Structure 1
Amino acid sequence: MARKALIEKWKKQPKYKTRKYSRCKVCGRPRGVIREFGLCRICFRKMALEGKLPGVKKASW
């Protein structure tokens, strides 16, 4: 789980746009974030399996 101080710092508007970085909108994880959804890989997988993400389905071949 991300530290609360870092999550609050992330929520503020950055002084310069180069300082902006991605975090998961659900849990605040800074690594493995899928930009299109704004979720980390763990939350993405969990929500996709629950059917909460429209247009996403498990690949099978």
Structure 2
Amino acid sequence: MAKESLKARERKRERLVAKYADKRAKLKAEGDWVGLDKLPKNSSPVRLHNRCKLTGRPKGYMRKFGISRVTFRKMASEGRIPGVTKASW
């Protein structure tokens, strides 16, 4: 389980990226690189890192579900993810 501060930092970055997305796109289209430099560093989408929404685990992230592989396996075996069943043949 990741520290709460790491999860909070990532959520803060997500909010900043969403806040400055339109302004960033406009400045890029105009080619105003000086204006882009003045935006906050964490408002760049490149600085985002996918983390599990439940545990904050940074590795083994499954985009389709938004959780890590470990959490996915646990929830799937408990039947808590609709439409996901254990394969058997």
Percent identical: 49
Calculate the TM-score normalised by the size of structure 2. 0.64
Which residue identity is paired with 2:11? K
After TM superposition, the runs of 4+ consecutive aligned structure 1 residues lying more than 6 A away are none
> Aligned partners of 1:6 and 1:52: how far apart in 2?
26
Residue 3 of structure 2 corresponds to residue 3 of structure 1: yes
Select 2:81's aligned residue among 39, 53, 58: 53
Shift of 1:57: 0.6
Count of residues paired in the alignment: 61
SS for the counterpart of 2:7 is helix
Greater RCO (Cα-Cα under 8 Å, separation 6 or more): 2
Calculate the TM-score normalised by the size of structure 1. 0.89
Tell me the C-alpha RMSD between the 2 structures. 1.0
Provide structure 1 residue ranges, at least 5 long, that are not aligned to the other structure.
none
Once the two structures are overlaid, the 10-residue window that deviates more, 7-16 or 30-39, is 7-16
Which residue identity is paired with 2:57? R
Q: Which residue of 1 aligns with 2:65?
A: 37
Q: Which has the higher helix share?
A: 2
